[in-house]
Structure 1
Amino acid sequence: MAATGSKSVLFVCLGNICRSPIAEAVFRKMATDSGVWVIDSGATSDWNTGSSPDTRGLACLRKHGIETSHRARQVTKDDFMTFEYILCMDESNLSDLNKKAKSVKTSTAKIELLGSYDPQNQRIIKDPYYGSDADFENVYEQCLRCCKAFLEKNS
């Protein structure tokens, strides 16, 4: 998936319809100018495979001038070999990814919480699915901070 000389990042949450597509879209907009990043997002579950992101998340992104045509997908074993970084949203995602990585003999991905890059030290990006538009805005703002810090550290 990642071309030679490029960097790669996969953003992951439970269903790949709220947090990780927002993080993917935010990072894609930030990193587009550098042209060296392979960027995607995925889910630890298969519940929403093929679905568009949540309409509230899409509205939040549009409000900030970001479009996405993402469709939800589940993380595959290949992802652990093709992505340099796998950044997830919460401890449950982290646990699921670490378990799956152990089943991949040649896993090379660095698995971390996206929130570990948050300059405001909010390590967990809370799932806004059962929340309000304001909760999606909070996810966007946190992803913006974290993605900026991640990009600065890895460019």
Structure 2
Amino acid sequence: MLAPSGNICRSPIAEAVFRKLVTEENIEKQWRIDSAATSTYELGNPPDYRGQNCMRKHGITMNHIARQVTKDDFLAFDYILCMDESNLRDLKRKSNQIQNCKARIELLGSYDPEKQLIIEDPYYGNDEDFETVYQQCLRCCKEFLEKSH
């Protein structure tokens, strides 16, 4: 699972990218892929239109409605990958309150072969910023997939 703050920009992009990668490898049945927010800002909203445009440009479909991380997510997912240190702190704090938390909480950027640890929020940026997020997510998701199976 992928978790940023609002769940309309970075994590839906990463979710869609990862879903496409596992589908291309014909291993989608081995994965449960989702994304969720650490905040309540955008609950119920679709992904940002700029992210959707970016993904369309790359031939990737996005089907997501923003939701918040739940207690069950910490019990159901093996990994919760987040985008920046603020998300990491929030998720680790929440996970400490969950008995038998099985999720490994990490920065998605820790898998970036180009060592870009933080995936910056493109919300206040432009189309180029969404493209940067897409490229980072693609690199990180490919590396994560390679290392995780």
Task: Give TM class, smaller chain.
Answer: over 0.9
**Equivalent of 2:43, from 46, 49, 72?**
49
**Equivalent of 1:14, from 5, 13, 31?**
5
* CA-CA distance at 1:104 after TM superposition: 0.5
Matching residue of 1:25:
16
Matching residue of 1:131:
125
Mapped partners of 1:12, 1:43: distance in 2: 5
TM-score by length of 2: 0.97
SS of the residue 2:36 aligns to: strand
* CA-CA distance at 1:69 after TM superposition: 1.4
Amino acid paired to 1:92: S
Mapped partners of 1:46, 1:104: distance in 2: 20
List per-residue Cα deviations over 1:78-132 (Å, max 9, x = no partner): 1000000000000000000000001111101000000000000000000000000
Mapped partners of 1:69, 1:139: distance in 2: 18
Question: Which of structure 1's runs of 4+ aligned residues deviate more than 3 A?
Answer: none
- Unmatched 5+ residue regions in structure 1? 1-9
Please give the residue correspondences for 1:84-123 in structure 2 after superposition, counting only pairs within 5 Å.
Answer: 84-123=78-117
Instruction: Say if 2:70 is the partner of 1:76.
Output: yes
Aligned length: 146
**CA RMSD across the alignment:** 0.5
* CA-CA distance at 1:24 after TM superposition: 0.1
Amino acid paired to 1:111: I
* CA-CA distance at 1:139 after TM superposition: 0.1
